Amino acid sequence: MALSWRFWFLAPMVMALATVVLFPTVYLFWMSTQHWLVTDPQRFFVGTDNFQRLLAGADFWQALRVTAAYLVLSTVIMLGLGLGMALTFARAGRGWMRAIVVMPLVIPPVVAGFTWRFLLNGEIGFLGAWLLPAIGLELNPLAEPRAALVSVVIADVWSRTPFMFLILLAALQSIPRDFYEAARMDGANPFHEFFFITLPLLKGALFVAILFRIVDAINTFELIYVMTRGGPGRATQILSIFGWRTAFQELDFGQAAALGVVLLFICLAGAMLLFRRFVQRDLEAGA
Amino acid sequence: MKASTRLLTAAAFAIALPTAASAQTEINIVAFAPGFAWADMFGPSGTDKTDKLRAFEEATGITVNIEFADEETARQKVLLDLVNQTGTYDLVMLGSDGAVQTFSYAGYLEPLDDLLSTATEYFDPEAVYPQFLEANRVDGKLWALPYYSFGAGVIYRKDIFERYGIAEFPETTEALAGALDTIKAGLEKDGITDVYPLTMRGAPGEEPSLDLSGFVYAYAGYPAWFEGGATTPEEIRANDARPIFTGEFREGFEAFVEWSREYGPPGIATHTWVDMMNLYGAGQAVVLMPSAINGFAALGGTENTDVAEHTAFAPSPAGPSGLPVQSFWTFSVGVSAFSDNKEAAYKTLAFLTGEQAMQGFAETIGWPYSTFPAITRGEVLGEKWPAEMLDQIEASYEQADPHYFPYIPELNAFMERIGTAASEAISGSKTVDEALAELQAWAEERMERAGYYE
């Protein structure tokens, strides 16, 4: 009885969540089952037709490949840089140095995108038109398909590594120093300390950092839109840009919603995979 | 005063204020380019109301509210407002290269033919270049009125042409290709590596499609998208006309791609009209075509004296068919079918696109393009631009075929796909044949799905 009246205190939050999370999600699922073309006033139920067309089209698989390449490349570099910086700053970093490192994080992706676009521009950019040719690299970073993908990865790494750095730095600083002192007394070298103390104790933070990174990468839009609009051609067209194109340029809301559902499942699958790899095993071991 | 009395007074004010305000009819507009569009009405920031606008509001009892956003955001606001049928915006900004066609066929716009006679004091359809109205006519009905609009042409550096021995601007695409070869060789010989013979736009998406369709038209001699040159849903259905992107569309497409690759700047596969404009304004491009308007935009802001002093205009060259390369577009405004005040909305539209408004555009922006012959021939533009140039610009309207691409509901999607295919081919990620084969397959599927061939 006491539990039931307490439950009602949660009701506003449950209702708020249902409104802002559940309703749009259900609506997205509903849209994905509709023939909903702006060019056609008829709107009707088509079952899984939007999904079938989506998966049968070359565009989806191309965008998926680009997304995977973008995700893996940027995550690996970010993880390496973020961890390296966190290890350095955990020992020797000063406050103002940390502030400088974190600065790109507070710059909006649109501004970051414009900055990198101008830097890498092959006709007037400092990097694209001057520095790269000066060191013998005759390529246009934003107009050549592979170079364009690398360019957006570089811009993303510059913009988002500080987030990874902050998570890992906080986790590093929460590891008790006693562990290292005890290990040293047992003859452990820095290599042992890193692999047998630091890394295992960073697992939870790494899980959070990678999970956020996956969701962030899949949802990246402004940075790529501003830098390349998904181009040249479709070379940097990741799934979010493809979805925007499908909805707002090709005016196919049904198929764009189907893509939204697929993205939702990709994110969920990634999260579950990471959860099992990093967290569940530890929980089971602890139990 | 007691608390209850204060409460009642406040409530009475709360009720009375909106009632007083509603004596004026409110018309809401969404558009882009503040300080450029209707600068004479909303000021350089886009947030003011000038005396001109206030006089209109007082005379008509209409309050005009404008909401400016960047171009892409404005387009999306229009789309979502119309699709959701909210009627939040009474007047919506449209382009004649997709939005007018798509939204009129979908029933989201109000036909204007019957309204034209209701505000002739502001907008006289007889006084406008007919091509600009024709561009907004779909299925025989007029759906929007043109504001800032342009025809095809070339902006080029006369001094560089002369330096390499070319006295006159070529009149055909074949001769122009030869001239561009000469300029390219000359620039290379002189060791000039940061000036490119040509600038066009090749960014993925709809951006290149307007100009590219102009190449296709000039090479094929007709809008070669569907068999037999069908340009309306009725013609496509009646003739069972299939897409011909791997057929007669190819020659113009290939020319556009080859010219971009051969004579354009290295980043052209990602260039928008802004990049075209900046490059020309910085003195890094010799020819800008076929949307010469972007060259005039560059002239307005350039600090490069060579560009300012040695720029000339030439008519768009004719393709192998004998027809000129097209680039014809109107920034149009239409009345939402879901507006509660359609007549007031039309009156406002007539005011915002009428001769007075275009005169204001000529005075504030000063580009040599106008929708009214009286303004092209007027004092303001006459003092600023050579008469010969204004004659040529006027001639470009007469030579324009506003329907140089099909007027079908799916136009937006086609423009998007064609532009992206061009960007792929220019960047080299696909060959011309690969890009067109993919475009053809998509077009066939899209038209089948839309029920054209049942």
- Tally C-beta pairs within 8 A across A and B: 115
Interface test with B, best of A43, A250, A252, A255 (most B CBs within 10 A): A250
Nearest-by-CA chain B residue for A145? B429
CA torsion sign for B234, B237, B238, B242 is positive
The percent of residues above 70 in pLDDT, for chain A, comes to 96
Q: Do A233 and B438 touch (CB under 8 A)?
A: no
Which residues of B fall within a CB distance of 8 Å from A142? 267, 270
A254, A50 in Cβ contact below 8 A? yes
CA distance A221 to A223: 6
Res A94: pLDDT: 72
Res A96: pLDDT: 81
Q: Residue B398 pLDDT more than 60?
A: yes
Which residues of A fall within a CB distance of 8 Å from B268? 143
DSSP SS3 for A252 = strand
Nearest-by-CA chain A residue for B201? A232
Which residues, 6 or more positions from B208, have their beta carbon under 8 angstroms from its beta carbon? B200, B201, B202, B256, B418, B419, B422, B423
Per-chain mean pLDDT for chain B = 93
Check CB contact of B359 with chain A, cutoff 8 Å: no
ipTM of the complex: 0.84
Lowest mean pLDDT among A18-22, B63-67, B386-390: A18-22
Torsion of CA B346, B348, B354, B356, to 10 degrees: 160
Of B323 and A98, which is predicted with more confidence?
B323
Q: Do B83 and A124 touch (CB under 8 A)?
A: no
CA distance A60 to A81: 31
DSSP 8-state code for residue A282: H
In this prediction, residue B20 has a pLDDT band, given cuts at 50, 70 and 90, of very low
CA torsion sign for B216, B217, B218, B221 is positive
CA distance A239 to A258: 12
The per-residue pLDDT for range B290-318, each reduced to its tens digit, is 999 999 999 988 899 999 999 999 999 99
For the segment B63-73, the average pLDDT, to the nearest whole number, is 92
For the segment B431-441, the average pLDDT, to the nearest whole number, is 97
Write out chain B in H/E/C secondary structure. Answer: CCHHHHHHHHHHHHHHHHHHHCCCEEEEEEEECECCECHHHHCCCCCCCCHHHHHHHHHHCEEEEEEEECHHHHHHHHHHHHHCCCCCCCEEEEECCCHHHHHHHCCCECCCCCCHHHCCCCCCHHHCCHHHHHCCEECCEECCEEEEEECCCEEEEHHHHHHCCCCCCCCEHHHHHHHHHHHHHHHHHCCCCCCEEEECCCCCCCCCHHHHHHHHHHHHCCCCCEHHHCCCHHHHHHHCCCECCCCCHHHHHHHHHHHHHHHCCCCHHHCCHHHHHHHHHCCCEEEECCCCHHHHHHHHHCCCHHHHHHEEEECCCECCCCCECCCCEEEEEEEECCCCCHHHHHHHHHHHHCHHHHHHHHHHCCCCCCCCHHHHCCHHHHHHCCHHHHHHHHHHHHCCCCCCCCCCCCHHHHHHHHHHHHHHHHHCCCCHHHHHHHHHHHHHHHHHHCCCCC
Q: Residue B319 pLDDT more than 60?
A: yes
Q: Residue B176 pLDDT more than 90?
A: yes
Q: Do B424 and A233 touch (CB under 8 A)?
A: yes
CA distance A149 to A126: 19
Res B358: pLDDT: 96
Which residues of A fall within a CB distance of 8 Å from B450? 37, 39-40
Q: Residue B13 pLDDT more than 60?
A: no
* C-alpha distance from residue A113 to each of A72, A107, A117, A221, B361 (Å): 20, 10, 6, 10, 33
Smallest CA-to-CA distance from A81 within A65, A63, A101 is with A101
B288 forms beta bridges with: B155, B199
B137, B102 in Cβ contact below 8 A? no
Peptide bond into B290 cis (omega under 30): yes
The per-residue pLDDT for range B345-387, each reduced to its tens digit, is 999 999 999 999 999 999 999 999 999 999 999 999 999 999 9
Res B191: pLDDT: 96
- Burial of A284 by CB count in 10 Å (0-12 exposed, 13-18 middle, 19+ buried)? exposed
DSSP SS3 for A19 = helix
Q: Residue A1 pLDDT more than 70?
A: no
Check CB contact of B44 with chain A, cutoff 8 Å: no
Res B7: pLDDT: 55
CA distance B439 to B412: 14
φ and ψ of A47, to 5 deg: 65, -125
Smallest CA-to-CA distance from A235 within B439, B256, B204, B259 is with B204
Torsion of CA B232, B236, B242, B244, to 10 degrees: -30
B98: tokens are 């997709």
Q: Do B426 and A232 touch (CB under 8 A)?
A: yes
Q: CA angle B14-B17-B22, nearest 5°? A: 130
For the segment A170-185, the average pLDDT, to the nearest whole number, is 91
In this prediction, residue A9 has a pLDDT band, given cuts at 50, 70 and 90, of confident
Res B23: pLDDT: 58
Check CB contact of A142 with chain B, cutoff 8 Å: yes
* C-alpha distance from residue A149 to each of A120, A154, A234, A243, B417 (Å): 12, 9, 10, 18, 21
Res B124: pLDDT: 96
In this prediction, residue A283 has a pLDDT band, given cuts at 50, 70 and 90, of low
Q: Residue B401 pLDDT more than 60?
A: yes
Domains and CATH numbers, chain A: 58-286 (1.10.3720.10)
Q: Give pTM, 2 decimals.
A: 0.88
Lowest mean pLDDT among A37-51, B203-217, B408-422: A37-51
For the segment A237-254, the average pLDDT, to the nearest whole number, is 94
Torsion of CA B294, B38, B101, B244, to 10 degrees: 0
State the nearest Cα–Cα gap between B171 and chain A, in angstroms: 29
Res B11: pLDDT: 57
Res B19: pLDDT: 47
CA distance B334 to B343: 12
Of B17 and A129, which is predicted with more confidence?
A129
Which residues of A fall within a CB distance of 8 Å from B282? 124
Q: What is the phi-psi region of residue B372: left when phi exceeds 0, alpha when psi lies from -120 to 50, beta otherwise?
A: beta
Domains and CATH numbers, chain B: 18-143+329-390 (3.40.190.10), 154-327+403-449 (3.40.190.10)
The per-residue pLDDT for range A96-119, each reduced to its tens digit, is 888 888 899 899 999 999 999 999
B248: tokens are 């007669």
State the nearest Cα–Cα gap between B128 and chain A, in angstroms: 30
